[in-house]
Structure 1
Amino acid sequence: MAIQWFPGHMHLTQKAIAERVKDIDVVIELLDARLPGSSANPMLADLTGHKPGLKVLNKQDLADPERTALWLAHYNDRPATRAIGLDASQTTPARRLIDACHELAPSRGGMAKPMRVLICGIPNVGKSTLINTLIGGRKAKTGDEAGITKLEQRITLADDFYLWDTPGMLWPRIIVAKSGYNLAASGAIGRNAFDEEEVALELLDALRQHYAALVQARFSLDAVDGLTDERLLEAIGRKRGALLGQGRVNLQKAAEIVMNEFRSGKLGRITLETPQEFAAWVAAGELLEAERRAKKEARAQKKHPRPDRGAPPAAPSGAD
């Protein structure tokens, strides 16, 4: 199943970013440190052109520190790009954003040339929490739900530092299947856009391979090795009392338990992808997308054939 979610207000956000970025000095993209590749918006490079970029791996306190280091190195190797890890609720690390922006745009600063920064990110990545930390208040709305912020906001962090906050935005078509599942597992996609049991099974598949000990300890299981994803979900449901009549497991409830434990960090510090894994997923997704487009064009050509431009023009009706 391909997971897709692009509500109408995201079209407006896309247009707002394209217009606003003309006057912006630095673009901050807030990423989820547990899925740094999947939470990076592939549209952003086209929308922001060659503006200097700061990649912020938010929620790093929930992520695997070894994998976070890999991702920071991956992004810091890019030109005109800096990357830092952050826990948006901590004031001191949050202030690092201002210093990083000045490093990327050293010619900006002072009342004559104030720093102008645009902050973007997927839904529920923690932008509003971060902004509230920066300004020391609760100006931006927050919540554990995708799509809380709906309008662009300008926030003054200092007399010469302006920050434009945009609503969370995904992209019209998610071509990397694993990214869709990881985004859904993280809470970045609206609940009505995916099947929770299916997403939980995909999440458990990743956890079995890389974090089996954490799963075993958290759910007090005798073993994880040798269990299929389906059997593992059933075992978790039984341990947590998610039962229906006649001892059957409520798989919907079990799936909600697994995702909530992951989102809250109760399972432990987990990152669902490495730069190498994500690159492989993207390559496979681009190949499938190219095949899909080729089939679509073939169907359109069959339905509405184009005239052969190389053929001589047909003789007029009645010509000798």
Structure 2
Amino acid sequence: MKTSSLALAFILSIAGQHVLAGAPESFEKAKIALREKVYFDRQTSDVGDLYCGCRWTWMGRSGGRLDLKSCGYEVRTDSNRAQRIEWEHIVPAWVLGHQRQCWQKGGRENCKTSDPVFRVMEADMHNLSPTIGEVNADRSNYSYGVLPSTPAQYGACPTRTDFKQRVTEPRDAVKGLVARVQFYMHDRYGLSMSRQQQQLFMAWNRMYPASAWERERDQRIAQVMGHHNPFVTGERTWTLGHKPSREGLAGQGTATPARRPVEPPVQVAEESGSAPVIGNSASKIYHLPVGCPSYEQVQEKNRVSFGSAADAEAAGFRRAGNCR
């Protein structure tokens, strides 16, 4: 007896609505779907590419040729990759695979051929965004962080990478998006995240709320994938030590994640009690509610609230010099 389309839809729904007919089955198909159904009209918008805000012209099924003058971009070393659009995994494929057995036995190619969970993660459209190929290459699989002393590397493009520390700081305009994608991927697929990275992304999430384009992007992707990023819609929030839902693993293969060594605890500065730590977004200086004379003097338009001094410092703020 044939299963009706209605029954099939019901079965998929019961499975958790995580594997829908429209969801891309591979990274290559995900790039095409993003080109055709999400970013099809964004190439000439003010939003631009992820890391630099450049405009581009579509070429082929998912590629593009960048207009570097549109964002004042200057080539660092690789002119060829600087000219083309590439699709950045905000949570790198290395992170997705390195926590799984398949990666230990043959790297990314082995994961793509042997691990259905990895293929789903690699093709998750919420985690992909078009960006300049050279910056994509420089970011590699580095962590995100704050680089106050790293000089500009790409002309007017504010994204920077410290190759020695293996850290990239994205431009301010996308820090909130980056944080919410990190929350989504780690929550959905049960990935582990260090305490320090959690603090950084929690700070960015507060400082940079979802823009109109981020909400529209989420809506367009949900129409293909069948689900939203709940950290964009506000259905879910991330707190320190968040327990992942692992929703994306429902109905997938049973390949088990590889064990990772337990990271040493990060030293956290003193908490501020019930009153928040106040940061000045203009000066990148923060003030404690006790012992800092300028605590009440930060202009309202520049105020950023943090739960602790550690959160403020993770977001790139430094303590006011007149704090006792």
Q: TM-score, normalised by structure 1?
A: 0.25
Larger Rg: 1
**Higher relative contact order (CA closer than 8 Å, sequence separation 6+):** 1
- Richer in helix (by share): 1
Q: TM-score, normalised by structure 2?
A: 0.25
